Structure 1
Amino acid sequence: MTDPKYPKKMEDLSQPELVRWLMEGFRRTIIHYGCWFRETEYQLGMEKAAAVEDEAGDSAWGIMLKRMAGLFGFAIDGEVPQAVKRMGKEELLKAIDATAVNWLAEDGVWFQTVEKRFGMDTAKRINDTCWSRFSPYEALRIKRLLGLPETPGLEGLKTALGFRLYARINRQSIEEISEKEFVFRMNDCRVQSARKRKGLPDYPCKSVGLVEYPFFAETVDRRIKTECLGCPPDHHPEEWYCAWKFSIEE
């Protein structure tokens, strides 16, 4: 039996193989970045991890973008590709929407792959845990980018809900109840609407919603309380898929 002839170094690879390894480098960088954030969050807590990521992320992005600009021959303006900086508002909104849809697609691929290999219960459990980390992270990033104060109240939460990735994908609405409470409804959900078109029942997302919305709201303002008014598998009217009441005690 002859030993398989494995390549000894990158230079031994063919051009198509090198293309694959280039893309592999991008992939590992993403995973490694996530590993750093996850371990920092585990050891220091979400708020400190997010603060570290603010600095490390800005620095890493600038370093990587500058290197890629030189490699692929595109111009940068500050820490943004010049082509992006020259885009008009409509083009940018379309690009932001595409980014949000990509995010949802990535989320769906992870869920479906885990479900296929290990079952629905495991996929739901992992999904719920992921949201316990992503939801406060997203809230902290939104607060930073918008310059919201530490305790912006319900008005701050209303604003923040409009800047989630989901806000660019789904159709949502807010009903004012009083100065101390409002109801947020997801009127059209991309995931649930797709299931409806296929003749499938609602995906039972209440367990993740009970993580996603309270964690988001409390990160925006620790005084805010969240109550689920309905979320699949709960029965709901045609006008919305899930509804949440947010209240605050001054």
Structure 2
Amino acid sequence: MSETNANRLEELVGVIRQLSAHYGLWLAESVHQLGLDAALDAESEAGDKLEAILKGKLERALGRETDGLASGVPPAVLANAAQALRTGWLAADGVWFQAVEKSAGMDAAKRINDTCWARFAPLEARRAKAALGLPERGGIPALKAALAARMYGRLNQWEFSEETATSLVFRMTDCRVQTARKRRGLPDYPCKSGGTTEYTGFAHEIDPRLRCECIGCPPDPHPEDWACAWRFTLAEA
């Protein structure tokens, strides 16, 4: 890669960093001042507009304004770019946790982590409902579709089991975070509090009748074939 291209790539990554930070600050402060529901309503409107704006700008920047970016670039390139950003999202979560842990300790990092998941999980659920056209009270079928559409749905390996009309078990069979720690000889990261916040909020946003129960999640002991497991039950209306 030439020095010019290296500089341009560094510039592009820097722009993504600042765009993400500024967007996230708007969302965080909206939650603080308006409450989560109102902030997520605002994010739905702002985010839809931003997606359309960014798509148009990228098409023009890449010279694809006439035929469209999707038709002018090989599908594999777009798929690889999307996956790179998904793994980047996971890396961002990790480096933030480590930075806060280093400066303020594990308890502070976990508190912030849990708060972030309390806000991000409902946002993910709303985006999945909108993208997939899921009904407001879609029960177990809607939950299955939405879980598969999550960021983690394209990053980790997972499975459904013990499914009935009113219940479902979701198991993470290969978690990138825990697998990476295992390779480094580290114990499991104790993510139960964050996971409980995450899955409870996600399920409630998909259908308020859904309840979440943790079957097992670190620091709980668990078998080798899954890292965490969650049971979702559809309560009576």
Pairing 1:74–2:52 present:
no
Match of 1:235 in 2: 221
Deviation at 1:50, TM superposition (A): 2.4
RMSD: 2.7
- Structure 1 length as normaliser, TM-score? 0.81
Match of 1:5 in 2: none
CA 1:87–1:173: 2 relative to 1, 3 Å? farther
Q: 5 Å matches for 1:94-243?
A: 94-243=80-229
Match of 2:4 in 1: none
CA 1:27–1:242: 2 relative to 1, 3 Å? closer
Match of 2:40 among 50, 75, 99: 50
CA 1:175–1:41: 2 relative to 1, 3 Å? same
Distance 1:220 1:175 in 2: 19
Letter in 2 for 1:48: A
Match of 2:23 among 22, 33, 46: 33
SS in 2 for 1:184: strand
Distance 1:161 1:73 in 2: 33
CA 1:77–1:246: 2 relative to 1, 3 Å? farther
Asked whether the 8 Å contact 1:225–1:247 carries over to 2, the reply is: yes
CA 1:157–1:68: 2 relative to 1, 3 Å? closer
SS in 2 for 1:53: helix
CA 1:92–1:28: 2 relative to 1, 3 Å? closer
SS in 2 for 1:76: coil
Q: For 1:123-145, what per-residue CA distance to the aligned partner results, in whole angstroms no more than 9, with x for missing partners?
A: 11111110000000000011011
CA 1:75–1:201: 2 relative to 1, 3 Å? same
SS in 1 for 2:162: strand
Distance 1:149 1:107 in 2: 30
Pair member with larger Rg: 1
The gaps in structure 2 that reach 5 residues or longer are 1-6
SS in 2 for 1:232: coil
Deviation at 1:68, TM superposition (A): 6.3
Deviation at 1:87, TM superposition (A): 4.2
Deviation at 1:49, TM superposition (A): 2.2
Distance 2:53 2:164 in 1: 48
Deviation at 1:96, TM superposition (A): 2.9
Taking every aligned residue pair, what percent have the same amino acid on both sides? Answer: 48
- Structure 2 length as normaliser, TM-score? 0.85
CA 1:182–1:113: 2 relative to 1, 3 Å? same
Q: For 1:45-80, what per-residue CA distance to the aligned partner results, in whole angstroms no more than 9, with x for missing partners?
A: 33332232222223334445555666x5533369xx
Moved more, 29-38 or 105-114: 29-38
Deviation at 1:179, TM superposition (A): 1.6
